[in-house]
Amino acid sequence: MTEQTPTQDELMDRLVGKLEERLMGKITAQVEGQIGGVLSKNQELLQKLVDQKADNADLKGQLEQLAARFDAKPNDPPKHKPHEDHNDVVISKADARDPRAYARAKAEAQQRGVQVRFEGR
């Protein structure tokens, strides 16, 4: 039996084939790890943007509600009248919840030297 010895080209081809398999496995693992890190960072940043947008929407809604409350009756005087017996300034409960209306009623009561009373009391 005669043994054939592999030629230099055949040995190089085998070596390159084995090196390719090992290197490609390592390179693939590194690339997948890097892509996974980029993907997780992107998801984290996207979630932050979603949360900020939700917070902004909540704030915008709250600002619109406040603006609507203050713009509803900005120039309407509070519906208060002097009480017949005490000459106190009487204000409705609804007007008392409006800071501007309550402040006007309180200022008038202080000017006249009487108290602010709620309607029905």
The model's pLDDT over 53-72, given as tens digits with 9 standing for 90+, comes to 888 878 887 888 777 776 66
Q: Under a CB-based contact definition with an 8 Å cutoff, are residues 118 and 92 in contact?
A: yes
Beta bridge partner(s), residue 82:
89
Domain residue spans of the chain: 9-72, 75-121
pLDDT in tens, 77-87: 555 555 455 67
pTM of the model: 0.35
Average pLDDT of 17-31? 87
56 CB burial (10 A radius; 0-12, 13-18, 19+)? exposed
Q: Please indicate whether residue 66 or residue 16 has the higher confidence score (pLDDT).
A: 16
